[in-house]
């Protein structure tokens, strides 16, 4: 097993552990909504500390339900991942194209040099 394969397996196990352990250990069981986002946690903390707090801004668009909000967030994450994947794929493709061009130039230069030496001998 190569070193990269071992590293990838360790990273995969770490991601799986981060996803499964909070559920298996029952973290958040004492809360009404156990796995809320950081925004909801911050809002709860602010209202507990200062009940008379008024927000400075209001959202531009308030989705009608939590499911739609989650779907929009997932769409945003998917679009971002797509842009990053396109960028890294483009960079890799360009690098591979440059390497092929260099290999072809080196191959034609070697073939040209070999052809000249044979012609010079005759």
- C-alpha 102/C-alpha 114 separation (Å) is 18
Report long-range pairs for 119-122 (Cβ below 8 Å, ≥24 apart): none
Q: List, for residues 27-51, the tens digit of each pLDDT value.
A: 767 766 666 677 778 888 898 999 8
**Secondary structure tally for the chain: helices H, strands E:** 3, 0
Q: Are 74 and 68 in contact (CB under 8 A)?
A: no
Q: Are 98 and 90 in contact (CB under 8 A)?
A: no
Query: Does the pTM exceed 0.75?
Result: no
């Amino acid at each position: 097993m190569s070193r990269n394969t071992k590293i990838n397996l360790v990273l995969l196990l770490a991601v799986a552990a981060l996803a499964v352990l909070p559920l298996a250990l029952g973290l958040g069981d004492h809360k009404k909504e156990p796995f809320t986002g950081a925004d909801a946690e911050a809002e709860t903390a602010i209202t507990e500390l200062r009940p008379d707090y008024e927000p400075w801004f209001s959202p531009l668009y308030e989705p009608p339900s939590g499911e739609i909000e989650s779907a929009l967030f997932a769409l945003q994450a998917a679009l971002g991942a797509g842009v990053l994947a396109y960028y890294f794929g483009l960079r890799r493709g360009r690098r591979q194209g440059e390497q092929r061009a260099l290999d072809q130039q080196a191959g034609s230069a070697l073939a040209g040099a070999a052809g000249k030496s044979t012609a010079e001998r005759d």
